[in-house]
C-alpha cells in the first residue's frame, strides 16, 4: 500500500458523489464608513411592520453588521484542482477543499455580465429565518417561509434600493452621515462594482475579509459567514465568485455535508461550518455545482435555525423591475 492511498480514496469518494463539471490596506475613508455600518447595516426610510425586523437584519447576522468515463473525467478534474489548491494544511477538510475547488472551477467558467452603473441587481429568494422576540435566544420561532425580493444599485450605496417582503415594499437607504457619495460599499455592504474590485488571489481576499472584521471578534466562523453573505444575497463577477470559494477552502473547520435541502426542497451537497452547535451549510446542486441556498441546523436538537433558496438573480434597469 502506497502512502497516498488515503488521498486517492478521498478523491474517488468525491468523484462518486459529484458528476464531472460542465464543459491590502483599506482605502481612505472606508474605516469611517464601516464605523457607521457597525451601528446599522441598512437604514430604512420607513420603519418595518412588527415581525419583519428579524428578516431585515438577517444579512451579516453573526458579524452584527449589517459512468466509468465520467468517473475518470471527474478524477482528472479533481486532480487538476488539487494541483492548484493553495497550500494551507490548517484550512478546510480535504473533502471540503476538493469540493470547493470544483465549485470554484465551475464558477470561474460562467459568462461575465455587462453591467451599467445605473442598473440594479435583483435577487429573488424563498426564505425562513429564526425570529427572536426582544433579541432573546430563549423565545425564538422559525417564521413562515415566504418570498423575498431585493433590488440594489450595482455601483452606489447612496442610491435608494428596494426590499419587497411580506407583501410590502420597503425602501432601502444607507445613512450618508459618514459616507462620501458615490459609495461602492464594502465587504459587509457590497455593490457589484465593489465586488469587481476584490482581489482574485484567495489568500489576499481572505486577508482583506479578516481585516474588515477587526474589532468584531473575528474567527473562522465569521469569515465563513461573511463569504456566505457575499455568495447568497449578492451577485459577484465569475472570477471573484471563484476566489471566494478558494478563500473558503482556506478556513479551518469547513467540512462537507453529503445531503442538504434548501428552502424549496431541492437536495444538494453542502460545505459547512459549525459554531456553538449551529451548523451553517452552503448548498450546491450535485449536477451543476450551482449555489442553491443556505441552511442553518441546530445540532443540539436537529431543528432548523433558518433556510433559504435562491430563485433568480439578474440585473435590471430600475428598482422594482422584475426580469422576465
Helices (H), the chain: 5-17, 30-39, 53-56, 68-84, 94-108, 192-196, 202-212, 220-232, 238-248
Task: With cut-offs at 50, 70 and 90, classify the pLDDT of residue 214.
Answer: low
**Residue appearing with cell numbers 444579512:** 59
Does 212 reside within a domain?
A: yes
- For residue 182, is the peptide bond before it cis, meaning its omega torsion is within 30 degrees of 0? yes
Does 104 reside within a domain?
A: no
Does 257 reside within a domain?
A: yes
Does 252 reside within a domain?
A: yes
Task: With cut-offs at 50, 70 and 90, classify the pLDDT of residue 218.
Answer: low
Q: Is 104 helix (H, G, I), strand (E, B) or coil?
A: helix
Q: Which three cell numbers stand for residue 46?
A: 420607513
**Residue appearing with cell numbers 474590485:** 197
Q: Which three cell numbers stand for residue 236?
A: 459577484
Domain enclosing residue 49, as ranges: 25-66+111-316
Does 20 reside within a domain?
A: no
How does pLDDT run across 93-136, given as a tens digit for each residue? 999 999 999 999 999 999 999 999 999 999 999 999 988 776 55
Instruction: Give per-residue burial for 285-311: e unless 16+ CB within 10 Å, then b.
Output: beeebebbbbbbbbeeeeeebbbbbbb
Sort 167 into a burial class: Cβ within 10 Å, 0-12 / 13-18 / 19+. Answer: exposed
pLDDT at 80 over 80: no
| Percent of the chain topping pLDDT 70 | 68
Q: What is the pLDDT of residue 96?
A: 97
pLDDT at 229 over 70: yes
Widest distance between CA atoms in the chain: 67
Q: Which three cell numbers stand for residue 101?
A: 475547488
Supply the pTM of this predicted model: 0.75
Mean pLDDT of 44-59: 37
Q: Is 52 helix (H, G, I), strand (E, B) or coil?
A: coil
**Residue appearing with cell numbers 433558518:** 306
Does 119 reside within a domain?
A: yes
How does pLDDT run across 241-282, given as a tens digit for each residue? 999 999 999 999 999 999 999 999 999 999 999 999 999 999
Q: What is the pLDDT of residue 174?
A: 78
Does 49 reside within a domain?
A: yes
Task: With cut-offs at 50, 70 and 90, classify the pLDDT of residue 216.
Answer: low
Does 99 reside within a domain?
A: no
**Tally of domains in the chain:** 1
Amino acid at each position: 500500500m502506497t502512502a497516498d492511498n488515503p488521498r486517492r480514496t478521498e478523491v474517488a469518494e468525491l468523484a462518486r458523489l459529484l458528476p464531472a463539471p460542465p464543459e491590502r490596506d483599506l482605502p481612505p475613508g472606508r474605516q469611517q464608513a464601516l464605523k457607521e455600518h457597525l451601528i446599522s447595516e441598512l437604514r430604512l426610510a420607513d420603519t418595518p411592520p412588527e415581525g419583519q425586523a428579524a428578516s431585515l437584519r438577517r444579512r451579516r447576522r453573526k458579524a452584527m453588521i449589517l459512468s466509468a468515463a465520467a468517473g475518470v473525467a471527474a478524477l482528472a478534474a479533481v486532480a487538476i484542482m488539487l494541483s492548484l489548491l493553495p497550500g494551507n494544511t490548517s484550512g478546510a477538510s480535504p473533502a471540503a477543499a476538493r469540493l470547493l475547488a470544483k465549485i470554484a472551477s465551475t464558477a470561474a467558467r460562467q459568462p461575465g455580465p455587462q453591467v451599467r452603473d445605473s442598473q440594479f441587481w435583483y435577487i429573488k429568494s424563498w426564505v425562513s429565518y429564526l425570529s427572536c422576540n426582544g433579541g432573546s435566544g430563549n423565545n425564538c420561532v422559525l417564521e413562515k417561509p415566504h418570498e423575498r425580493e431585493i433590488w440594489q444599485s450595482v455601483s452606489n450605496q447612496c442610491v435608494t434600493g428596494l426590499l419587497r417582503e411580506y407583501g410590502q415594499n420597503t425602501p432601502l437607504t444607507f445613512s450618508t452621515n459618514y459616507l462620501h457619495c458615490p459609495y461602492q460599499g464594502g465587504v459587509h455592504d457590497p455593490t457589484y462594482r465593489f465586488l469587481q474590485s476584490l482581489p482574485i488571489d484567495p489568500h489576499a481576499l481572505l486577508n482583506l475579509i479578516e481585516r474588515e472584521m477587526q474589532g468584531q471578534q473575528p474567527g473562522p466562523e465569521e469569515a465563513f459567514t461573511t463569504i456566505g453573505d457575499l455568495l447568497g444575497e449578492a451577485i459577484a463577477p465569475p472570477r471573484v465568485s471563484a476566489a471566494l470559494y478558494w478563500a473558503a477552502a482556506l478556513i479551518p473547520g469547513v467540512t462537507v455535508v453529503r445531503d442538504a435541502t434548501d428552502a424549496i426542497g431541492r437536495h444538494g451537497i453542502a460545505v459547512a461550518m459549525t459554531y456553538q452547535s449551529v451548523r451553517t451549510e452552503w448548498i450546491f446542486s450535485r449536477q451543476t455545482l450551482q449555489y442553491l441556498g443556505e441552511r442553518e441546523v441546530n445540532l443540539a436538537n436537529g431543528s432548523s435555525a433558518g433556510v433559504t433558496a435562491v430563485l433568480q438573480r439578474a440585473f435590471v434597469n430600475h428598482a422594482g423591475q422584475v426580469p422576465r
